[in-house]
Copies of this chain bind each other. A is one copy, B any other.
């Protein structure tokens, strides 16, 4: 059994920018010394999150529309009144979606469906340089 710590760095546009990180996650699993186990992805930060989606233009737009509908930007937030940075909605969306994702892999192959991609969603209201912690554990 082993633990390997890795990290992804990416530049996002913010405002619900959705990045497909599947190829980067795959490569990190394939080049690790571990054949069977889990990869835990974690976002250090409180205005971004992780999930899976079929990475297809229509659904990406639908996903952004959904957040605008459920947790709108243009309603009053106490956070914005206190700090003036206008990203209260970003914090709410990130807390709702969650900062972590755990994916099993078997013989170095991630257990994803054919039409399922791992995405990093940056909810902040400005472009950001981001990092994602990857931890691979198994044997």
Binding site for B on A (CB under 8 A): 1-3, 5, 36-38, 40, 42-46, 51-54, 56-59, 61-63, 65-66, 70-71, 77-83, 88, 91-92, 94-104, 106, 111-113, 115-116, 133, 135, 137-139
Contacts and interface: CB of A to CB of B under 8 A. Distances in A.
Given A45-B116, A98-B98, A104-B135, 12 more contacts: A1-B139, A3-B139, A5-B36, A38-B40, A42-B103, A45-B113, A59-B88, A66-B92, A100-B103, A104-B133, A106-B133, A111-B135
17 contacts: A1-B3, A38-B135, A42-B104, A43-B113, A45-B113, A56-B83, A57-B78, A58-B77, A58-B81, A58-B82, A59-B78, A59-B79, A62-B88, A62-B92, A100-B103, A104-B133, A111-B133
B91 A51 contact: no
B133 A36 contact: no
A93 to B, nearest CB: 9
Contacts of A101: 98-100
